[in-house]
Amino acid sequence: MSDDKNTRPKSYISTHTNEAIYVRDASLVDELIGKVSFTDMIFFHVMGRRPTRADTVILDAVLVTLMEHGFTPSVIATRMIAMSSPEALQAAVAAGLLAVGSQFVGTMEEAATVIQEILEAPEGVDAHARVVAQRFRTEKKPLPGFGHHLHRPDDPRTPRLFEVARSVGVPGKHIEALQALSRHVDEVYCRHITINATGGIAAILGEIGIPAEIMRGMAVISRCAGLVGHIREEQALPTGRKLWDHVEHYVEYVGEAPFKS
């Protein structure tokens, strides 16, 4: 195998000597530990540049928003594995993170792609927002960033996220594109469908330049912390066995094997 420096794999993230560790060329010991927040460090590590105040405020709001939402699929998975393998906290967290996807928690990725499509359309934001709303309606596909099975008529988190973003002076293009889409969604669907939290998050992360393809990673980071909290509660107030019993009680066996009623 050739050892030509021009063809060797490269990384800009980290290196070390016997005396020091460097992250993005910054000394971990002298420039980062005790001098930047965890939110700042996430942004710096992922994006490769020091965050502005707007970057930090918005990312921090996103991380707080996504940390907790009760007994969601990710939490149920984590608690069940914590019951099954109490010695392996990391396995329980990993199980819950596998549920961060296109149906729960992680839908900002798809929503951000739709927003970007609207922003780049030659016919303008408002006109293309209607095209998108009509397309999803015609194709009978779930519209990413819209709807919530609990928060009706509106998700209370979304306007607060927009308020936070505007308070730090973001340009607002992504937010405006999403709100234009929302207006046309209501018209095309003939009913009001809320912009949910992940839709709002897609817009405000877009405002600070977070690429769509990495946005779900922010959900993973946030939900990871939330799942650790649920494991701690599971240790003190176990629910896993009761969840299991609940399934045993409510899921009916309909085969022909003999059983006691």
C-alpha separations of 199 from 43, 99, 104, 112, 166 in Å: 20, 18, 12, 8, 16
138 and 35 co-located in one domain: no
147 and 215 co-located in one domain: yes
- Yes or no: say if 173 and 112 are a contact pair by the CB < 8 Å rule: no
181 and 131 co-located in one domain: yes
Structural domain includes residue 140: yes
136 and 210 co-located in one domain: yes
Structural domain including 214 reads 52-246
65 and 83 co-located in one domain: yes
Structural domain includes residue 251: no
Instruction: Tell me what pLDDT residue 179 has.
Output: 97
The backbone torsions φ and ψ at residue 101, rounded to the nearest 5 degrees and listed phi first, read -150, -150
206 and 78 co-located in one domain: yes
The model's confidence at residue 108, banded by pLDDT at 50, 70 and 90, is confident
Structural domain includes residue 80: yes
Cα distance between residue 56 and residue 44, in whole Å: 10
CATH of the domain at 138: 1.10.230.10
- pLDDT over 90, % of the chain: 74
- Number of structural domains found in the chain: 2
Structural domain includes residue 8: no
157 and 46 co-located in one domain: no
Structural domain includes residue 259: no
Structural domain includes residue 260: no
101 and 177 co-located in one domain: yes
Cα distance between residue 174 and residue 37, in whole Å: 26
25 and 113 co-located in one domain: no
Domain final residue pick, 31, 50, 69? 50
Instruction: Tell me what pLDDT residue 1 has.
Output: 54
The overall average pLDDT reported for the chain is: 91
Domain final residue pick, 33, 50, 67? 50
129 and 238 co-located in one domain: yes
72 and 130 co-located in one domain: yes
Structural domain includes residue 234: yes
46 and 56 co-located in one domain: no
Structural domain includes residue 195: yes
pLDDT digits (tens, 9 = 90+) for 195-234: 999 999 999 999 999 999 999 999 999 999 999 999 999 9
For the chain, what is the largest distance between any 2 Cα atoms, rounded to a whole number of angstroms? Answer: 73
The model's confidence at residue 88, banded by pLDDT at 50, 70 and 90, is very high
Between CA 235 and CA 239, with CA 236 as vertex, the angle to 5 degrees is 75
